[in-house]
Amino acid sequence: MLFEFNYNRKQIPQTPFPFGEGLGMGLQNEISMNKLKISILSLALLCVLRVSADDYKASLFGIKSNGTTMNTTAIQKAIDYIHEKGGGTLVFYVGRYLTGHIELKSNVKIKLEEGAILVGSTNIYDYNINGPYSSLVFAYQAENIAITGKGVIDGQGRDVAYNLVDQIHKGIILDEMKNDRPGSRRPRAIYLRECKNVEISGINIRNSADWVQVYDQCQNLKIDGITVDSKAFWNNDGLDIVDCKDVKVLNSFIDATDDAICFKSHDATKLCENVEVRNCVARSSANGIKFGTVTSGGYKNFKIVNNKVYDTFRSAITIATPDGGVIDNILVDSLNAYNTGNPIYLRIGARWNKGRTGSMSNITIQNMYCEVPAGKPDVGYEYEGPIEDLPRNISPSSIVGLKGQDITNVTLKNIHIVYPGNSNPDYAYRGTKPADLDSIPEMAASYPEFSQFKELPAWGFYVRHAKNVKFENITLTAKGKEYRPAIVLDDVKSATFTKMKYEEPGGGKKQVVQYKSSNVTTK
Amino acid sequence: MSKIILFSFLFLFALKLLAKDYRIADFGAKADGVTVNTSTIQKAIDYINENGGGRLIFDAGNWVTGSIYLKSNVTLHLEYGATILGSTNPFDYVKDKKIGWMSMIFAVNQENIGITGKGTINGRGFTTANNMVNYIERGIYIDPLKLDRPNETNRPQNIYFRECKNVKINDITLRDPASWNQTYDQCINLYVDGITVDSKSYWNNDGIDVVDCDGVVIKNSYFDAADDVICFKSHSAEHICQNVVVDNCVGRSSANGLKFGTVSRGGFRNFKVTNLTIFDTFRSAITFAAVDGGEISNIVVDGVRSINTGNVIYLRIGDRWSKGKKPFMKDITISNVYAEVPFGKPDAGYNYEGPVEDLPRNISPASIVGLPDYKIQNVRLKNIEIVYPGAGNPLYAKRGLTSADLDSIPEMRTAYPEFSQFKELPAWGFYIRHAQGITFENVKLIAQKKDYRPAIVMDDVQGATFKGMQYNEPESNGKKQLFYQKSENVITE
Amino acid sequence: MSKIKLTALFLALVLTLNLSAKEYKASLFGVKSEGITLNTKSIQKAIDYISENGGGKLVFYVGRYLTGTIQLKSNVIIELKEGAILVATSSIYDYYSAGGPKALIVADGQENIGVTGKGVIEGNSTSVLGQINAQIQKGYLKETVAKASPALIALNNCTNVTINEFNLFDATGNVQYYSGCKNLLINGVTVKSIDSKDSKGLVLSGCDGVKLSNIYFETSGKELETAGSSKNVSALNCKNVKGEKLQLKN
């Protein structure tokens, strides 16, 4: 265990209530009763209303479950009240609870019982759109908070986004609508910033207008057994962990239009570190598991174990540092990816570095199986990934640093990747002659995606600007004939190949091409 | 064995001859609630029309569409559980050039058409109307946004049939149009039976509009509408709405229950309305208005229950868009009416409640108000009981009985006709002005609280007979409940 | 008029058009990018509006835009940015023709029109063809498969047409069809259409002044068919899947 939850549960003494049931009515009439007495009585009354010491039913605060009553202020009152009373759980039972932006406070847990749905208002003005934290459920510097239960948070994000677009087109809200969508203000379902001891478990989160859930500079974060289904609008990342420390993401299912499980580093003085992702399933019209894009500080000490990716448009795993961040000590073990556009993409770039130099070292990817289809892997999902960087044949896995900034110490072990093959040099061509290889642009300042270089000269792995790369027990299968070799190394210092297997119809060709590389050994 | 097969074959064949059925799914339409099926449904209608006619069957599911045109000999049949959903994109609707309105289901110059079955047509008009507002405000669609809503003609109705013959609308449920709900305009032989209307999703949501039609039956139907419920109109001075039967209908409205008008250019003739129930209705249970030069004649209304309705009867001649035509109203019989008028707002809590206006005034009486030059003629009221709240308070609003007071009631020739238009009126039960030949027979007027006004005030009435009148008002001993001025031949039996 | 003069004039025209082109984002007209909303009427409204208001560009950014037939009007350019896909609906009664065969994008007698950008027009041929066959089989569609199969682009009697830098995928019928067009420039287009039978890449009929350049063809039918007499046709760096250069007959 990375941490224990330590809720400061202030036990409210549960004295048995000695009076009859009609007393609540009597209270109103007893004008002569003194103040002290009234307080004691009301306290006792509250105790009776509550299921247990720190459970508060939503109805206590006048929160309505009909789906049409706007509950924002009532829910906020409930949270504030529970917070001021020393903490407890606000329990929502079956029903639809319409709300705008609410802020969680220390020692307050929200429990969504099965059948309870927290429904986001479709009115954009019901959210805190003027700051950077536009969200449905928000918390700032809160401790010991949680959202649990088998219930649902439904952001109704498509309608929220459309309503925002409408306000922009009418000129009420100013936004340049880059890519014809609002650049900011779209609310996330959950945004927690600088919080400590956070548990998100069991719930189902749907239909966000932007990223689904952001945990930003949080510490001791446990996400367990959640389901994310969010294809409501562009940029629906499934899970964004930004500059957090001590994080576990366990047993969760994430299906999202944009990156499914995503680590980011927005702050150059911070890091994402000590993170474990285990037993998760991810589906995306972008990347399955992604480090980046924004990578100011970096990522350290990650264990990504026993996860699955399917029907994913881009890479099963992308680790990118385009903004000067440091990436160190990342283990990816037992990742299975089916029907995924690209298996592995490791990339150093230099986009928003501001004087920093990005680095990536000590990356181990082992026990991986991946199937890349000939067609589009995310066909039929809403907000499919965009077809771009054409013309190109099926892209290989790639490990691409920058000139003078090698990706170092990469170990690839026990991996089987099945590619469709059938590249057509008349459609797109990149040969292995020096001129061909040198024609591949560095694209230091570009957005990092596996497809960014368009046609690449290998069908299995393309490695450039790397140092000390180990391939061990790797099987690369091309289902159709390829005009390209399986592996191209360009500017690689020290590479070892152990127990390599290449399967391609026809076969018999040289599958490893090295260029400007040294110390390449094959065992 | 072979005999049986032959027999069933023959049987099937016979069935097919009776009504050829086509299923919309067979044409490739999807009931997923998302796919906009406009072109596919249109193709199916055209195909059936070109191949001898038949029923186009919508099985259970949500069939989204924009504007479609029904053609001769085609019936849309909605099975139980089938919903035709209006697209929420206003650009999916056509504004028909001849009609000048938008609608989901159009028919123009067709015959033998219908919409039947236990299914639903749901216009989703609230969303569509609001989307239209957005496009207007973005400058993409031109509309003055009068009253902060798009013009009625720029919002789709559910149904608009024009110049059609032999139209059958049976059993269906009609919901949530963006404008009026269903309009039958210059149609001949319209038969509406057993339909349910829930029409309060946006402004001007009428229940049913019958415009200049000849030969109409509306029966066994239920209407709940934000605007007028069962509404007859006459848009054309050359046409008239005539030969109409309305039987066994129930209506709820934030405007009027049974209404003739407002647009009344040609007029209304030969109506028989029986067994009508109106409840929770903001304005009048019955409004007959001839304000645009049209006639209203030979109208029989028999059997009305009007419960929790702001007003019971409002008959009005005006002179609004007459263009030289002379309006008249005569030979109106209203009998067997029981009505309760509440003190509070009868439509409180409904979506798009009627507007509170023409204040200050105490509870308005039923009214029969012509013009000095166009008198309402020959009105017979028989077996009527109306329960009013009474409690008219002169300190709040007062119209006394002096000549000066009565003459101060404006004529309002060109105003929009509503029961409340004159603000405070001097009677609590009936106010009658500019009329000839009025008969009250066995009429009971009850005020639940004392009112400062008499029950009935007449002004400029030639010939009025009161038989078997009962007035029931607390603390009114010796109060004269019938008052008139400038009137002659007033007989009380 | 000599060729050079014509080209210069054409270039100048395109240049002017580009300079003065007002840009309209598709979302202004309620066009949705999620891939399931049928946008036909909204896109048509946008084209009509832009044409009536002095012309300009209708810009589609990244996303999938489901639509049936849309009709281009004078002085309107459709720009598909990289990642933007105009997706043909599988609902076959949403296609119609305007002077040529049925197509996703049609125009008749318009001028200064075009489609540009790095995006894609996706014909969705497998689904469309399936629907056509089913409807013919049921007897509701009384057309031949060929007649019912929509092309991606069919322009008739149009002047100053630019088809520039994008991808044309999976037409149910032929990919492009131009008849009676003057000053037609097709450049940098990738044509991939192999899922339906005999899908021709480009059909020219009675056109005058056609410049083809940098076109890649991967089609089940002929790359180019010239029916009727087309004049002043040139091709530069156009090739097919086998690397063969496009041959201009005549």
The pLDDT assigned to B493 comes to: 87
Mean pLDDT of A308-316: 98
Name the band, by pLDDT with cuts 50, 70 and 90, for residue C154: very high
Subunits in contact with chain B (3 or more CB pairs closer than 8 Å): A, C
Please state whether beta strands B94-95 and B102-108 pair in parallel, antiparallel, or not at all (unpaired): antiparallel
Touching check for C8 and chain B: CB below 8 Å? no
- In this complex, do B43 and C93 lie within 8 Å of one another by their Cβ atoms? yes
- In this complex, do C91 and B28 lie within 8 Å of one another by their Cβ atoms? yes
Touching check for C25 and chain B: CB below 8 Å? no
Residues of C in Cβ contact (< 8 Å) with A233: 34
SS3 A77: helix
Residue A14, pLDDT > 80, answer no
Place of tokens 């209705």: B281
The pLDDT assigned to A508 comes to: 83
pLDDT in tens, B40-89: 999 999 999 999 999 999 999 999 999 999 999 999 999 999 999 999 99
Burial of C4 (0-12, 13-18, 19+ CB in 10 A): exposed
Residues A144-174 as b/e (b if ≥16 CB within 10 A, e otherwise) read bbbbbbbbbbbbbbbbbbbbbbbbbbeeebe
Nearest CA of chain B to the CA of A170: how many Å?
5
Place of tokens 């894009």: A293
How far is Cα C235 from Cα C212, in angstroms, rounded to an integer?
5
Is B112:B73 a contact under the CB 8 Å cutoff?
yes
Residues of C in Cβ contact (< 8 Å) with B136: none
Q: How far apart are the first and last CA of chain B?
A: 81
The CATH code of the domain at C23-240 is 2.160.20.10
How far is Cα B361 from Cα B285, in angstroms, rounded to an integer?
19
pLDDT in tens, A154-189: 999 999 999 999 999 999 999 999 999 999 999 999
Mean pLDDT of A407-412: 98
- Fill in the DSSP letter of residue A100: -
Which pair of structure tokens corresponds to residue B424?
A: 């405070």
Touching check for C190 and chain A: CB below 8 Å? yes
Touching check for C37 and chain B: CB below 8 Å? yes
Residue A406: C-alpha distances to residues A271, A328, A432, A448, A455 (Å): 21, 13, 21, 16, 22
pLDDT in tens, A85-122: 999 999 999 999 999 999 999 999 999 999 999 999 99
The pLDDT assigned to B99 comes to: 96
- In chain B, domain spans: 16-158, 206-493
Name the band, by pLDDT with cuts 50, 70 and 90, for residue A476: very high
- Fill in the DSSP letter of residue A260: S
The pLDDT assigned to C247 comes to: 83
Ranking A46-50, C82-86, C198-202 by mean pLDDT, the lowest is A46-50
Higher pLDDT, A42 or A170: A170
CA-nearest residue to B136 within chain A is A170
The pLDDT assigned to B187 comes to: 98
- In this complex, do A386 and C239 lie within 8 Å of one another by their Cβ atoms? no
Nearest CA of chain A to the CA of B122: how many Å?
20
Residue B13, pLDDT > 80, answer no
Residues of C in Cβ contact (< 8 Å) with A313: none
Listed in sequence order, the residues at least 6 apart from B213 whose beta carbon sits closer than 8 Å to its beta carbon are B184, B185, B186, B187, B188, B190, B241, B242, B244
Place of tokens 């309505």: A64
Touching check for B42 and chain C: CB below 8 Å? yes
Place of tokens 């990742």: A335
How far is Cα B236 from Cα B233, in angstroms, rounded to an integer?
9
Which pair of structure tokens corresponds to residue B263?
A: 């647009």
Alpha-carbon radius of gyration of chain C: 17
The pLDDT assigned to C229 comes to: 84
The DSSP element (H or E) to which B46 belongs, if any, is: helix B38-50
Touching check for C126 and chain A: CB below 8 Å? no
Residue A476: C-alpha distances to residues A177, A417, A469 (Å): 43, 5, 17
How far is Cα C3 from Cα C6, in angstroms, rounded to an integer?
5
Q: Note the pTM of the prediction, 2 decimals.
A: 0.86
Mean pLDDT of A253-278: 97
- In this complex, do C63 and A383 lie within 8 Å of one another by their Cβ atoms? yes
Phi/psi for C192 (5° steps) reads -130, 110
Is B54:B20 a contact under the CB 8 Å cutoff?
yes
CA-nearest residue to A169 within chain B is B138
ipTM: 0.84
Touching check for C62 and chain A: CB below 8 Å? yes
Burial of B477 (0-12, 13-18, 19+ CB in 10 A): exposed
Residue B317, pLDDT > 60, answer yes
SS3 B304: strand
Subunits in contact with chain A (3 or more CB pairs closer than 8 Å): B, C
- In this complex, do C138 and B131 lie within 8 Å of one another by their Cβ atoms? no
The pLDDT assigned to A33 comes to: 46
Touching check for C92 and chain A: CB below 8 Å? no
Task: Report the candidate in C107, C87, C103 with the shortest Cα–Cα distance to residue C31.
Answer: C87
The pLDDT assigned to A3 comes to: 40
Top residue of B138, B140, B141 to mutate, by most chain A CBs within 10 Å, is: B138
- In this complex, do C134 and B28 lie within 8 Å of one another by their Cβ atoms? yes
Mean pLDDT of A319-340: 98
Residue A11, pLDDT > 50, answer no
Phi/psi for C98 (5° steps) reads -140, 85
Nearest CA of chain A to the CA of B128: how many Å?
14
- Fill in the DSSP letter of residue A390: -
The pLDDT assigned to A17 comes to: 40
How far is Cα B280 from Cα B341, in angstroms, rounded to an integer?
10
- Asked, as a colleague might, if the bond just before A485 is cis with ω within 30 of 0, I would say no
What number of C-beta contacts closer than 8 Å exist between A and B?
7
The pLDDT assigned to A34 comes to: 52
pLDDT in tens, B335-363: 999 999 999 999 999 999 999 989 999 99
Mean pLDDT of B86-99: 97
Residue C121, pLDDT > 90, answer yes
Q: What is the pLDDT of chain B when averaged over all its residues?
A: 95
pLDDT in tens, B182-196: 999 999 999 999 999
Q: What is the pLDDT of chain A when averaged over all its residues?
A: 91
- Fill in the DSSP letter of residue B401: S
Residue C230, pLDDT > 70, answer yes
Side chain identity at B254, as an amino acid letter? S
Query: Which of A234, A388, A424 is nearest residue C82 as measured by Cβ atoms?
Result: A388
% of chain B exceeding 90 in pLDDT: 95
How far is Cα B213 from Cα C110, in angstroms, rounded to an integer?
44
Which pair of structure tokens corresponds to residue B396?
A: 């709040």
Residue C11, pLDDT > 90, answer no
Task: Report the candidate in A360, A310, A308, A353 with the shortest Cα–Cα distance to residue A330.
Answer: A360
How far is Cα B480 from Cα B313, in angstroms, rounded to an integer?
23
Ranking B92-106, B294-308, C17-31, C134-148 by mean pLDDT, the lowest is C17-31
How far is Cα B365 from Cα B362, in angstroms, rounded to an integer?
9
Half-sphere exposure in the Cβ direction for A77 (13 Å, CA): 11
Name the band, by pLDDT with cuts 50, 70 and 90, for residue B14: very low
Which pair of structure tokens corresponds to residue B469?
A: 């009148």
Ranking A8-17, A214-223, A225-234 by mean pLDDT, the lowest is A8-17
The DSSP element (H or E) to which C9 belongs, if any, is: helix C3-20
Task: Report the candidate in B390, B369, B491 with the shortest Cα–Cα distance to residue B441.
Answer: B491
CATH architecture, domain defined by B16-158? 3 Solenoid (2.160)
The pLDDT assigned to C226 comes to: 87
Listed in sequence order, the residues at least 6 apart from C118 whose beta carbon sits closer than 8 Å to its beta carbon are A388, A390, C80, C81, C82, C83, C165, C166, C167
How far is Cα B134 from Cα B136, in angstroms, rounded to an integer?
5
What number of C-beta contacts closer than 8 Å exist between B and C?
55
Residue A519: C-alpha distances to residues A346, A485, A497 (Å): 21, 20, 11
Nearest CA of chain A to the CA of B418: how many Å?
34
Touching check for C150 and chain B: CB below 8 Å? no
Helix (DSSP H) and strand (DSSP E) numbers for chain A = 5, 31
Residue A46, pLDDT > 90, answer no
Task: Give residue B122's Cα distance to chain centre.
Answer: 19
Alpha helices in A30-141 (DSSP H): 35-49, 72-84
Residue A2, pLDDT > 60, answer no
- In this complex, do A382 and C35 lie within 8 Å of one another by their Cβ atoms? yes
* 3-state secondary structure labels for all residues of A273-337: EEEEEECCEEEECCCCEEEEEEECCEEEEEEEEEEEEEEEEEEEEEEEECCCCEEEEEEEEEEEE
Which pair of structure tokens corresponds to residue A397?
A: 């896995």
Residue B160, pLDDT > 50, answer yes
How far is Cα A123 from Cα A138, in angstroms, rounded to an integer?
17
The pLDDT assigned to C9 comes to: 52
Name the band, by pLDDT with cuts 50, 70 and 90, for residue C248: confident
DSSP E strands in B201-240: the ranges are 208-211, 214-219, 222-225, 230-234
Listed in sequence order, the residues at least 6 apart from B58 whose beta carbon sits closer than 8 Å to its beta carbon are B24, B31, B76, B77, B78, B79, B82, B84, B117, B119
Which pair of structure tokens corresponds to residue A221?
A: 């974060």
Name the band, by pLDDT with cuts 50, 70 and 90, for residue A53: low
The pLDDT assigned to A12 comes to: 38
Sheet holding C22-25, edge to edge: C22-25, C56-60, C76-80, C111-117, C159-164, C182-187, C208-213, C231-236
The pLDDT assigned to C15 comes to: 47
How far is Cα A160 from Cα A120, in angstroms, rounded to an integer?
8
Mean pLDDT of A380-384: 94
The pLDDT assigned to C216 comes to: 94
State the Cα torsion C77-C81-C83-C87 to the nearest 10°: -10
Is B70:B48 a contact under the CB 8 Å cutoff?
no
- In this complex, do A388 and C61 lie within 8 Å of one another by their Cβ atoms? no
Top residue of C39, C45, C89, C91 to mutate, by most chain B CBs within 10 Å, is: C91
